[in-house]
Chains A and B, each alone.
Chain A
Amino acid sequence: MATTAPTVQTQAQKPGWPDTIRRVLNSMVVPVLAVITALAVGAVIIFFTSGGFGNPSQAFQTVFLAYQGLIEGAFLKERGFSETLVATTPYIFSGLAVAFAFKGGLFNIGAEGQFFLGAVTAAWVGFAVGMPPVIHLIFALAMGFLGGAMWGAIPGFLKARTGAHEVITTIMLNYTAFLLVDWLVTGPFRSKTGTAPKTPDVLESARLPTFFAAPDRLHLGFVLAVVTAIFIWWVLNKTTLGFEIRTVGANRFAAQYAGISVARIFVLTMAIAGGLAGVSGAVEVLGLQHNLPAFFSAGYGFDSIAVALLAHSDPIGVIPSAFLFGALRNGADLMELRSGVSKQIISIIQALILLFVAAPEIIRALYRIRKPETAIEETPLTQGWG
């Protein structure tokens, strides 16, 4: 023991680049193994639900075809990689929405509802308001942020004022948002043309420009998402607001004692988180769909929790984490086409990734990894209901 103590000290004195890289690599061990294990379990599930031991050769072939299709669809086929980036974009924004709230000790399960509010506000501004090109786009994005921010601020305010737990209020607001948007899209905002209920197309001036010629759909939103992730990292780590948010997240009572208004931080954190999810919806409408159809099931709300946790709630880490989820989502179609395995298997794989990331002990036990000496600080979320 006496011999190891000085080395720890010298390491602490000289935190150079190699040390930082080593720490980053160390923090990636569990997430990477979690993804590999989840894919392996996914293979086992496919095996057993497509013949299994009754017809092992066919089941093996199905597993092989499924994963081959997944990889081909996500990266190798024509425009596969650019479509993966298209799918990554909303995951970055909504992953940030969850990660940002996590930093403040809040669990934002409401990204789905905030996404819808952002999408419908941006769509409305996009088709109903006439403006010069660039300004229109910026205004539509800002309104998308505002729509999501308002929806996010409600649970933040309720938590600050009454102590109502954000987990239940955000979920209730998800259902409310879905019904509200359903009414708007089938009612007041419904397009006069077409049989399926949807909003009119947003004007050209409000659309996010694409990078390449027509069939390719990669739009400016992806770059915007990456820049936003870096900006959020900067806000959290280099600004007073970020410091306050992290302090409240680490210990709200200590923060209160230090003179930080916890109520203000709750509302602000949830508003910004909601705004990020709102932009996610706005970008899907302005960059990709160009309108908002009824019964549009995005499914980003729950997935984004896994995206954020896989990234240890680190804004920069959200980018590769979202890329993985985007690749899975994009590759799923060809996977289903090639192997006949329902693409819903992707949701199971994503849930398993979340399970293994949330309980790293399972991964450590499986691969006999020791617990790291410098454990990553984790914000406790379960603090009763009050």
Chain B
Amino acid sequence: MSSDVILSIITAALSIATFQATVRLATPITLAALCGIWSERSGVVNIGIEGIMLSAACTGFLGTIYANQALGSKSVSLFVGLVAALATGLLLALLLGVLAVRFKTDQIIAGTVINILAVGATGYIYRRYLATDAPVAPGVLSPITDWPLIGPVFSALSHIPIIGPLLFTLQPIALSMLILVALTHYILFYTPWGLRTRSVGENPRAADTLGINVFRMRYTDVLIGGAIAGLAGAWYTLEQVGVFTPNMTAGRGFIGLAAMIFGKWNPVGAFLAALLFAFAEAIQPILQTQAPQVPYQFFAMIPYLLTIIVLAGLVGRATPPAADGKPYEA
């Protein structure tokens, strides 16, 4: 590869468009990581994030198209879809909670059950309701700049150099991802609730002695994580793609877990890690146009290989919550 090609790749990779794509593609990964953080900070390993996302993507789309068929309003039907996705996230997180907290099932297996159930159930729903004769999809959520009332404000702010196009042209779920990162950080480290969450994840016995209900804390936090993973699923069908296809989450839930570990169970750290993974995805089209002689499959491998490298390089030095994955016996 000549130096000209490398130079043109670098210039294209460092454009505002690439950075915009990076933040956009970081959305499901960051949300998956936040789900993992909520769950694991309270001591429950959640490996079923991928399955929760896939299920929420499916039900979100299902809710949207049937609401659109019945009501004919794009914004209302997308809202119905969003509610369906969040409800699915809560429901599957409840299943994980019951298995992990109540039945003390091995948490890795409990999460795997959710993943397998999600592939089966969404595959069935797809074939039964979506593959043929499905109602028309109304499209995706509009960027904030097109919204009534707050839209003009965001439009005006988007003219700020660099930060403007990056932050104020975002679509709603991407924007709520940024808010959720800040909110999770604040709750975990600056509120009594966060302190209790961390204490049941580090030393549930001591927390119990101090009068904290370990089981209730874990249920609540796993459910919050589930709702966030539901939002991550909604990103696929309601904000990014606009239709549901089987297995469309393509491992992003697991990459989110790697981002959580890379970010040391810290929301901001996980977000930065997610940006790295998303950047590896965002530069793929650039690499493909600049180096067409390389088969596309090798570029597509980059996020997965990067995940392995990051895990191998950092796990030893990243310390999970002490009681992570251990069922609590009252």
Query: Contact: A361 with B308, CB < 8 Å?
Result: no
Chain A hits for B298, CB < 8 A: 179, 183
Q: Which of A165, A168, A187, A354 has the most CB of B within 10 A?
A: A168
Does A302 reach chain B (CB closer than 8 Å)?
yes
Across the two chains, which residue of chain B brings its CB closest to A350?
B120
Q: How would you classify the secondary structure of chain A's contact residues: helix, strand, loop or mixed?
A: helix
Q: Does A76 contact B (CB under 8 A)?
A: no
- Give the dominant DSSP class at B's interface: helix
- In the complex, what's the smallest C-beta–C-beta distance from B173 to chain A, in angstroms? 24
- Cβ contact of B325, chosen from A168, A358, A383, cutoff 8 A: A383
Q: A163-B316, A309-B109, A359-B103 are in contact. Are A302 and B301 (CB under 8 A)?
A: no
Least CB distance, A313 to chain B, in whole angstroms:
11
User: Are A168 and B117 in contact (CB-based, < 8 A)?
Assistant: no
Contact B297 A361 (CB under 8 A): no
Closest to A386 in B: B315
Query: Chain B, 234-263, contact with A by CB distance < 8 Å: what is the 0/1 string?
Result: 000000000000000011001101100100
What per-residue 1/0 map shows which CB atoms of B101-113 lie under 8 Å from chain A? 0010111111011
Q: Which residues of B contact A172 (CB under 8 A)?
A: 251, 254-255, 304-305, 307-308
Would you call B165 an interface residue if the criterion is a C-beta within 8 Å of the partner chain's C-beta atoms?
no
**Which B118-176 residues have C-beta < 8 A from chain A?**
119-121, 123-124, 126-128
When distances are taken between beta carbons in the complex, the residues of chain B under 8 Å from A260 are none
Assess whether B325 is in contact with A302, with CB atoms less than 8 Å apart: no
Contact A358 B99, beta carbon cutoff 8 Å: yes
Do A176 and B117 have beta carbons less than 8 Å apart? no
Q: When the two chains form their complex, are residues A171 and B295 in contact, meaning their CB atoms are under 8 A apart?
A: no
Q: Which residues of A contact B108 (CB under 8 A)?
A: 107, 167, 381-382
| Minimum Cβ distance to chain A for residue B170 (Å) | 27
Contacts of B115 in A (CB 8 A): 302
Does the CB pair A168–B257 fall under 8 Å?
yes
The chain A residue with its CB closest to the CB of B305 is A176
CA A305 to CA B112, docked complex, whole Å: 9
Q: Is the CB of A305 within 8 A of B116?
A: yes
Q: Is the CB of B251 within 8 A of A351?
A: no
**A345 in contact with B117 given A158-B312, A172-B251 (CB within 8 Å):** no
Between A158, A169, A349, A385, the greatest number of chain B beta carbons within 10 A of the residue's beta carbon is seen for A385
Whether A348 lies near B325 (C-beta < 8 A) is no
Q: What total of chain B residues lie within 8 Å of the partner, measured CB to CB?
A: 50
| A256 at the binding interface (Cβ < 8 Å) | no
Is A348's CB under 8 angstroms from B121's CB?
yes
B250 / chain A contacts, CB cutoff of 8 Å? 175
A227 CA / B111 CA spacing, docked (Å): 33
Q: How far is the CA of A346 from the CA of B115 in the complex (A)?
A: 15
* Inter-chain contact A344/B120, CB cutoff 8 Å: yes
A89-116 vs B, CB cutoff 8 Å, 1 = contact: the mask equals 0000000000000000001010000000
Within the assembled complex, what's the spacing in Å between the Cα atoms of A45 and B258?
35
Question: In chain A, what residue has the closest Cβ to B260?
Answer: A385
Residue pair A351, B120 in contact (C-beta under 8 Å): yes
A182–B297 contact, CB under 8 A? yes
- Residue contact A351 to B320, C-beta cutoff 8 Å: no
Q: Is A316 an interface residue (CB 8 A)?
A: no
Chain B neighbourhood of A174, CB < 8 A: 251
Given contacts A344-B127, A348-B117, contact A162 B313 (CB under 8 A): yes
Q: Who on chain A is nearest to B95 by CB? A: A355
> Are A347 and B120 interface neighbours, CB within 8 A?
yes
Q: Could you tell me if A176 and B301 are in contact, using CB atoms closer than 8 angstroms?
A: yes
User: In the complex, what residue of chain A is closest to B265 when comparing beta carbons?
Assistant: A385
Tell me, yes or no, whether B311 is within 8 Å of chain A by CB: yes
B57 CB within 8 Å of chain A:
no
| Set of chain B residues within 8 Å of A358, measured between Cβ atoms | 99, 105-106, 109-110, 113
> How far is B313's CA from A176's CA once the two chains are assembled, in angstroms?
19
Instruction: Tell me which residues from 351 to 386 in chain A have a Cβ below 8 Å from any Cβ of chain B.
Output: 351-352, 354-355, 358-359, 361-362, 378, 380-386
Distance A354 CA – B111 CA, assembled complex (angstroms)? 11
Whether A345 pairs with B124 at a CB distance below 8 angstroms is yes
Chain A 29-52 against B: per-residue CB contact (8 Å), 1 yes, 0 no? 000000000000000010001000
CB of A167 within 8 A of CB of B116, answer: no
A31 CB, nearest partner CB in chain B, Å? 15
- Which residue of chain A has its CB nearest to the CB of B120? A347
Nearest CB of chain A from residue B129's CB, rounded to whole Å: 8
Q: Considering the chains assembled together, what is the distance between the CA atoms of A354 and B112 in angstroms?
A: 9
Chain B residue numbers with a CB within 8 Å of A346 are 120
* Chain B proximity of A358: nearest CB distance (Å): 5
Q: Which 3 A-B pairs have the closest CB atoms?
A: A347-B120, A382-B325, A342-B127
Residues of B within 8 A of A (CB): 45, 47, 99, 103, 105-110, 112-113, 115-117, 119-121, 123-124, 126-128, 250-251, 254-255, 257-258, 261, 295, 297-298, 300-301, 304-305, 307-308, 311-313, 315-316, 318-320, 324-326
Q: Which residues of A contact B (CB under 8 A)?
A: 45, 49, 107, 109, 158, 161-165, 167-169, 171-176, 179-180, 182-183, 187, 302, 305-306, 309, 342, 344-352, 354-355, 358-359, 361-362, 378, 380-386
Query: Known pairs A162-B316, A347-B124. 5 more at Cβ < 8 A?
Result: A179-B297, A344-B120, A345-B124, A355-B117, A359-B99
